[in-house]
Amino acid sequence: MEQVSKWKQLWLSYEKKAENGNASYFQNVWIQGFSMEEPVVKSALKELTDGALGMLGAKVQTAGEGENAAKSSGIVLQRLEENNEAGVKAEGYVLKEEDGRLTVGATDEKGLLYGVFHLLRLISMEKSLAGVCKTCNPDNPLRMFNHWDNMDGSIERGYSGRSFFFADDDVIINERTRDYARLMASIGINGTVINNVNVKQAASWLITDRFFEKVAQMAEIFAEYGIKFFLSLNYASTIEIGGLDSADPLDERVIAWWKEKMKECFTKIPNLGGFLVKADSEGRPGPFTYGRTQADGANMLADAALPYGGIIIWRCFVYNCQQDWRDYKTDRARAGYDNFIKMDGDYHDNVILQIKNGPMDFQIREPISPLLGGLKKTNQMLEVQVAQEYTGHQIDVCYLIPMFKEVLDFHTYCKPGADTVADVISGRTMGNKNTGMAAVINTGNDANWTGNYLAAANLYGFGRLAFQTSLSAEEILDEWIPMSISTDAEVIKTVKGILLPSRATYEKYTSPLGIGWMVTPHVHYGCSVDGYEYDRWGTYHRADHLGIGVDRTDAGTGYVRQYYEPNASAYNSLESCPEELLLFFHHVPYTHVLKTGKTLIQHIYDSHFEGYEEAEGYAKAWEGLEGKVDEEVFANVKERFDRQLRNARDWRDQVNTYFYRKSGIPDEKGRTIY
Amino acid sequence: MEQVSKWKQLWLSYEKKAENGNASYFQNVWIQGFSMEEPVVKSALKELTDGALGMLGAKVQTAGEGENAAKSSGIVLQRLEENNEAGVKAEGYVLKEEDGRLTVGATDEKGLLYGVFHLLRLISMEKSLAGVCKTCNPDNPLRMFNHWDNMDGSIERGYSGRSFFFADDDVIINERTRDYARLMASIGINGTVINNVNVKQAASWLITDRFFEKVAQMAEIFAEYGIKFFLSLNYASTIEIGGLDSADPLDERVIAWWKEKMKECFTKIPNLGGFLVKADSEGRPGPFTYGRTQADGANMLADAALPYGGIIIWRCFVYNCQQDWRDYKTDRARAGYDNFIKMDGDYHDNVILQIKNGPMDFQIREPISPLLGGLKKTNQMLEVQVAQEYTGHQIDVCYLIPMFKEVLDFHTYCKPGADTVADVISGRTMGNKNTGMAAVINTGNDANWTGNYLAAANLYGFGRLAFQTSLSAEEILDEWIPMSISTDAEVIKTVKGILLPSRATYEKYTSPLGIGWMVTPHVHYGCSVDGYEYDRWGTYHRADHLGIGVDRTDAGTGYVRQYYEPNASAYNSLESCPEELLLFFHHVPYTHVLKTGKTLIQHIYDSHFEGYEEAEGYAKAWEGLEGKVDEEVFANVKERFDRQLRNARDWRDQVNTYFYRKSGIPDEKGRTIY
């Protein structure tokens, strides 16, 4: 598989836009308090120059540095004091237009860069800059991408081609490296992990002289855009590359080896932020192997990284993946909480626990992980999956921001007044600063980066949301569509009409009411109702001829008790349980009547017919855009819709047939079931 | 993956045996009418020499050639006239002891070799040769192995290691090549196809100068044991290696290319018997691509091979593998017959249609293919699968000869008095000579050739049965066990007690009553009741809450009408349909009462519990053989039984749970179902 030779610039394509009086600002660009030699400032100036030229045909005139800036018309890039009037904080910025003078104020270079991108965003959206007055501070200290790229160039759960970081067990550095960094910075991403959390073979050697030089070079490019560089670590490095016979976190030799290794890493990769670790999970080694706790493992690494300001991000995806389907007591949903809650408070300050949004694994619908906010004395990072592993493989359109919003807005009841997930991971709840959001991201070396052009809305949206969690799913589309597809109002309306409800649609034609998992094993695309039912993964629906669902109430696995009240009681009762999660928490008869007045079985039939019809509607709406959007974009998305419709039809028919055959209860409307 | 460096000789290990007065015959070995220089005769003499020395400690004294042979005591290897008193025919032999003179009489060298192996078999079984008097003629003209070996060394559906014919896209020739030929000849195999019927990549080039030399060298070794050498052919060779743009069998350029190619092949590989072809099947190219018939394709190749006495074996495994599970009318079982019956009589004399034993694909239970005997003017070869693709992967013990016997003994009613499958494929029904039996065989480069030592009983048994279809499954074990495991009566009894009923046991704990296919997709080991239910392969069970099975009666797909009467009517009626095939032919309610008085659902439960218990019994019986059989054999089989029990338990519990959940009908005996 070769590298794709040319690629798009997505929302940074800087194509000609309506001027709207915006060009005039660029005649004088002054800098005040920043050094034009500083790499991030340089990047900001370059974007400003390229963006103005491309979008407005305006040539930036750099007037100079210093005092005159304050008096000039044009653009002033201004460093603010920490305690500034506008309330701008670290990495934040103020954008303010007055009397032809447009100020981008920030306390640091990153804030300046983000402010410049905001300015360019407005131009790209064809908004007038006149009268703009906006202060933006990032809600989350850490806003990260996690790439599951392997060094052979493959991407675990990648649906957009091969890796642009690795090929043939080597590191790739080319123009795309910089374009990637620009795209990230433009949406506020300030950290990235470039290699798969399952660290194997050559990737174990990324922290050795075999790769230091290249890795440092890549990290340096990221630094120019304010992005910290992270690597996934092989927990068993002491054995696999260190020549020791142990990875016991309390073994002095292991500790000494890591101290030395961390010193080497942070010295040789100046822009290194730290490491991401998946331990004791799905066959990966970890501290459990040595009878130690997860905290033992994480703290040992964190202590070694501390002198260099490094952080250790420790994934909480630890569960028994050798479960017996005959066992109704063991509950995979419980595992994360059970494995991590006891050590709350034991983790050192530069450890962050990275917690998936749900207790299972990125299904189209799950409850919120009870670890989020359940942990009260531990740094937490929310992990979501933008790569559409279970949500359509970037074939089916599935705008995920509404789901992420639900997660962020969820009240955990961990602390009065600051109890949402957004509060917890922003640091507002506990006053901590090593917190944030990470996304398993959906990029690859496809020319359009994300396979389906529309999937770029998730890439863009995650970054924007991580920066500003109060943005709505619709507001994000109001930015992304005009920047990426078209500023034509009709087109914006149509694309929004497809994207905004698309997650609900995908949910309708796949697994019902929170049960999840009815996917083709391993592949995770396409329907297989019993695919995981008799397997070892702890992912069961327990459907029989009378009903379906997993009893996780007090009478069942007791999972509900991992939540604070009133959530625990709400989930525990069939009456008060949110219906979209009904089958996650309860085993329910097909004849159970839902709040809509429909029986459960009829809901299954109806929602699957509806889901398919909605997908058909989107495909048709897209057809109507022919000639109104870029030809290539049109063709790419159209081809994906063809495949989505086949997939949606298969899901509809298999799920309906499965439950009809099992229950014997016919569809009230007499539609075709096989 | 490396080649295994050393391997066993299986039943030809020629270890010390009880003498029983057999040694004395070897003091004088005379040859009459055969040339000691002829390669096959040389091989016979070498086996005689090695066998006598190994098993009896007797040194063979070759007395000479000519007239004195008739009067001598000892062994006389005698060429008989075509019309001989003993009734010996081509490739047959007579074995006769009288007054210390043991005659091995044959009309040709192959018969002589087979006679010698028979003699050695008796010694290995510790039978006395005194008074032996037996004439054996092969029932089937062609007795073949089909290897599905790929040139990269992998074996499609191989469960005994890698290929010993190919590695790294090259041909392997070593001592094992000869040992393989000896083993084959010792059980009467007279033809073999060394490469996979799915001919791809390097294998397409086997019929070019890139490989001719090596291939001819291997074929020559086979010739020394009377074995004709065959290759699988890429039907699209004209395109893939010939530089043409077509494989249309009526295209003059294609015809000319093949004429030239056949000339080259048969000239450069003197022992070449012909070719096996899989066309228009599972994605392989074929004459259908050009709107031609299967006969057009086969005849074109056959005509080109005719001048050299070559034959074309054409597989009938042609069906639509893009079926829609929603479609209840299309029936994969019908496909073979529908595709081939119309051209009956059109195939040239040197074409043989190779027909799988059942209409589907080597399931543990299928009806007999209606093409067998359905074709009345076409050469037919029966294809069975000794490789345990669907029958336990040579992990689970499954002695297949009882199944093959059922196939051979099946009355097709195609012709009064000569209507069994054995009649059809032996040539007795139609008086044709290009007929016989082929097995997709179970060998690999494991030291013991077949993975599980007990699976060698299938390897051995197929050869013996193909030679003499009247042998019973038990008689074959009475040969194989003493030759391969032990001559101890108790051991023989125990091993027979495991092997003879093992196929019935495997059937019990897997899919019930002829329905088949409840296997893990692609892998074909382990249970997945719905694994193929919503897929494109035409392999459905159609289970709902009331019943299960495929209606192939007049009211259903009409498949039953592909049989002659009275079979068609017998299958068509729920009352007269053999119950082991009930669900193959009928969709039956779970409450249907079987001849045993049990309901269908109770039968499913009972047979699955029984099957597992029987497997447990075998494992236990085998444990009792510790110290009584070779240590390595013991350990190998014991380890397989551990895995078989896990597999059988999974099957039992998944199938029972699936049908309990679906039907809601509890087990009468209240056993554990999940």
Could you report the per-residue pLDDT of B399-418, keeping only the tens digit for each?
A: 999 999 999 999 999 999 99
Structure-derived torsion over alpha carbons of residues B510, B514, B517, B519, reported in degrees to the nearest 10:
0
Is residue B134 within 8 A of residue B119, CB to CB? The reply is no
Of A527, A545, A661, which is closest to B664 when you measure between CB atoms? A545
CB contact under 8 A, B534 and A528: yes
Which residues lie closer than 8 Å to A657 by C-beta, 6 or more apart?
A673, A674, B326, B534
β-bridge mates for residue A106, sequence order: A79
Q: How far is CA A61 from the centre of its chain?
A: 38
Residue A108 contacts residue A77 (beta carbons within 8 Å): no
Facing A527 at nearest CB: one of B534, B545, B653: B534
Per-residue pLDDT of B533-559, as tens digits, reads 999 999 999 999 999 999 999 999 999
The mean pLDDT of A140-161, rounded to a whole number, is 98
What angle do helix axes A252-268 and A212-223 make, rounded to 10 degrees?
Answer: 60
Question: Residues near A102 by Cβ (< 8 Å), separated by ≥ 6?
Answer: A25, A74, A75, A76, A95, A96, A119, A129, A132
> What local confidence, expressed as pLDDT, does residue A126 receive?
97
pLDDT exceeds 80 at position B1: no
pLDDT at B26 over 60: yes
**Amino acid symbol at A34:** F
Q: Are residues B105 and B115 in contact, defined by beta-carbon separation less than 8 angstroms? A: yes
pLDDT value of residue B64: 83
Does pLDDT of B4 surpass 70?
no
pLDDT tens sequence across A623-635:
999 999 999 999 9
Q: How confident is the model at residue A43 (pLDDT cuts 50, 70, 90)?
A: very high
pLDDT digits (tens, 9 = 90+) for A264-302: 999 999 999 999 999 988 777 899 999 999 999 999 999
Residue B594: per-residue pLDDT: 98
- For residue B389, indicate whether it is catalytic: yes
- Does residue B62 carry a pLDDT above 50? yes
Cβ neighbours, 10 Å, residue B526: 17
Nearest CA-CA distance, residue A647 and chain B, Å: 13
Total Cβ atoms within 10 A of residue B132: 17
The C-alpha angle B294, B298, B303, rounded to 5 degrees, equals 145
B288–chain A Cβ distance below 8 A for any pair: no
Mean pLDDT of B592-616: 98
Our CA-based measurement puts residue B403 at a distance from the nearest CA of chain A, in whole angstroms, of: 30
Q: Do B545 and A663 touch (CB under 8 A)?
A: yes
- Identify the CA nearest to B503 among candidates B613, B399, B640, B395: B399
User: What mean pLDDT is predicted for residues A360-365?
Assistant: 98
- Mean pLDDT value of segment B348-356: 98
Q: What is the pLDDT of residues A319-361, one digit of tens each?
A: 888 999 999 999 999 999 999 999 999 999 999 999 999 999 9
Catalytic residue chosen out of the listed positions A282, A409, A642, A668: A282
Contact A653 B543 (CB under 8 A): no
Cβ-defined contact of B544 to A662 (cutoff 8 Å)? yes
Per-residue pLDDT band for A66 (boundaries 50, 70, 90) equals confident
A623 is catalytic: no
Q: How confident is the model at residue B185 (pLDDT cuts 50, 70, 90)?
A: very high
Q: Do A529 and B530 touch (CB under 8 A)?
A: yes
Does pLDDT of B311 surpass 80?
A: yes
pLDDT over threshold 50, residue A263: yes
CA distance A662 to chain B (A): 5
Which tens digit of pLDDT belongs to each residue from B265-284? Answer: 999 999 999 999 999 887 77
Alpha-carbon distances of A324 from A529, A572, B316, B453, B514, rounded to whole Å:
18, 25, 42, 31, 29
Report the Cα B142 to chain-centroid distance in Å: 12
Residue with tokens 């019902």: A512
Is A282 a residue of the active site? yes
Per-residue pLDDT, averaged over A200-221, amounts to 97
In DSSP terms, B143 is beta-bridged to B437
Contact across the interface for A674 and B543, Cβ inside 8 Å: no
Query: Mean of the pLDDT values across residues A142-160?
Result: 98
Residue A308 pLDDT grade (very low, low, confident, very high; cuts 50, 70, 90): very high
User: Which H or E run includes A253?
Assistant: helix A252-268
pLDDT over 60 (residue A87): yes
Q: Does B21 touch chain A (CB under 8 A)?
A: no
Is cis: bond before B416, omega within 30 of 0?
no
Q: Which of B108, B224, B361, B383 is catalytic?
A: B361
Q: Which of B528, B534, B661 sits opposite A545 (nearest CB)?
A: B661
pLDDT in tens, B507-520: 999 999 999 999 99
pLDDT band per the 50, 70, 90 thresholds, residue B5: low
CB-based contact, B653 to chain A, within 8 Å: yes
Q: Which of B527, B546, B653 is facing A664, going by the closest CB pair?
A: B546
Partner A contacted by B72 (CB < 8 A): no
For residue B65, pLDDT over 80 is answered with: yes
Q: Collect all residues of chain A within an 8 Å Cβ-Cβ radius of residue B674.
A: 325-326, 328
Q: What angle do CA A416, A418, A422 make, to 5 degrees?
A: 145
> Tell me, what's the pLDDT at A282?
79
- Please state, for a pLDDT cut of 90, what percent of chain B lies above it: 95
Q: Which of A325, A329, A545 to mutate to test the interface with B (most CBs of B within 10 A)?
A: A545
Which residue's structure tokens are 């108790």?
B490
User: Which one has a higher pLDDT value, B505 or B2?
Assistant: B505
- Is the pLDDT at B12 greater than 90? The verdict is yes
* Chain A contact for B535 (CB, 8 A cutoff): no
Kindly state the average pLDDT of the residues A572-597.
Answer: 98
Task: Supply the pLDDT for residue B335.
Answer: 96
Q: What is the pLDDT of residue A71?
A: 82
Mutate to test the interface with A, among B534, B612, B649, B653 (most CBs of A within 10 A): B534
Alpha-carbon distance of B652 to B645, in angstroms, equals 10
User: Cβ of A535 under 8 Å from any chain B Cβ?
Assistant: no
pLDDT beyond 50 at A1: no
Nearest C-alpha neighbor of B564 from the set B408, B416, B407:
B416
* Rounded-to-integer distance, Cα A312 and Cα A276, Å: 6
Q: Which residue of B has its CA nearest to A649?
A: B326
DSSP string for residues in A188-200: T--EEE-S-SS--
Pairwise CB contact (< 8 Å): A661 & B543 = yes
Note whether B590 and B663 are within 8 A (CB): yes
In the chain, the amino acid numbered B267 is: T
Assembly ipTM: 0.85
- Is B313's pLDDT higher than 70? yes
Q: What is the mean pLDDT of chain A?
A: 96
- The first and second tokens of residue A602, run together, are 């009829």
Closest CA in chain B for residue A674: B326
pLDDT, one tens digit per residue, over B622-668 is 999 999 999 999 999 999 999 999 999 999 999 999 999 999 999 99
Q: Is any Cβ of chain A less than 8 angstroms from the Cβ of B534? A: yes
Task: Establish, for the pair of chains A and B, how many residue pairs have beta carbons separated by less than 8 Å.
Answer: 50
pLDDT, tens digit (0-9, with 9 covering 90-100), for A483-520? 999 999 999 999 999 999 999 999 999 999 999 999 99
- Joined tokens for residue B448: 């013991």
Q: How confident is the model at residue A65 (pLDDT cuts 50, 70, 90)?
A: confident
Q: Are strands A380-385 and A436-440 parallel, antiparallel or unpaired?
A: parallel
Q: What is the radius of gyration, based on Cα positions, of chain A?
A: 25
pLDDT score of B148: 98
Taking only the tens place, the pLDDT of each residue in A428-442 is 999 999 999 999 999
Q: What is the pLDDT of residue B282?
A: 79
Q: Can you say whether the dihedral through the CA atoms of A595, A596, A597, A602 is positive or negative?
A: negative
Q: What is the largest CA-CA distance in chain A?
A: 81
Of B326, B528, B545, the CB nearest to A661: B545
Rounded Cα distance between B71 and B66, Å, is: 11
Task: Please name the residues between 389 and 428 in chain B that touch chain A, using a CB distance below 8 Å.
Answer: none
Yes or no: say if B107 and B39 are a contact pair by the CB < 8 Å rule.
no
Whether A386 and A442 have beta carbons less than 8 Å apart is answered as yes
Q: What is the mean pLDDT of residues B64-82?
A: 88
Q: Please, which residues 301-330 of chain A have a Cβ atom closer than 8 Å to chain B?
A: 325-326, 328
The confidence score (pLDDT) of residue A194 equals 98
- Chain A residues with CB under 8 Å of B661 CB are 543-545, 662
CB nearest to A664's CB, from B326, B544, B650:
B544
- Return the axis-axis angle of helices B401-409 and B502-509, rounded to nearest 10°: 90
Q: What is the DSSP letter of B160?
A: S
Q: To the nearest whole percent, how much of chain A has pLDDT over 70?
A: 99
Q: Is B646 on the interface with A (CB under 8 A)?
A: no
pLDDT (mean) for A646-663: 98
Q: pLDDT at position B6, please?
A: 86
pLDDT at B2: 44
Averaged pLDDT, B440-466: 98
* Rounded-to-integer distance, Cα B347 and Cα B611, Å: 45
pLDDT of residue A5: 61
**Amino acid (one-letter) located at B242:** G
- pLDDT, residue B69, reads 81
> Do residues B364 and B503 make contact, with C-beta atoms less than 8 angstroms apart?
yes
Cβ density class A297-329: b for 16+ within 10 Å, e for less:
bbbbbbbbbbebebbbbbbbbbbeeebebeeee
Distance CA A394, CA B28 (A): 80
In chain B, which residues have their Cβ closer than 8 Å to the Cβ of A328? 674
CA triple B30-B36-B41, angle to 5 deg: 95
Distance CA B396, CA B648 (A): 9
Say yes or no to pLDDT of A4 above 80: no
> B324, B653, B662: best mutation site toward chain A, by most A Cβ within 10 Å?
B662
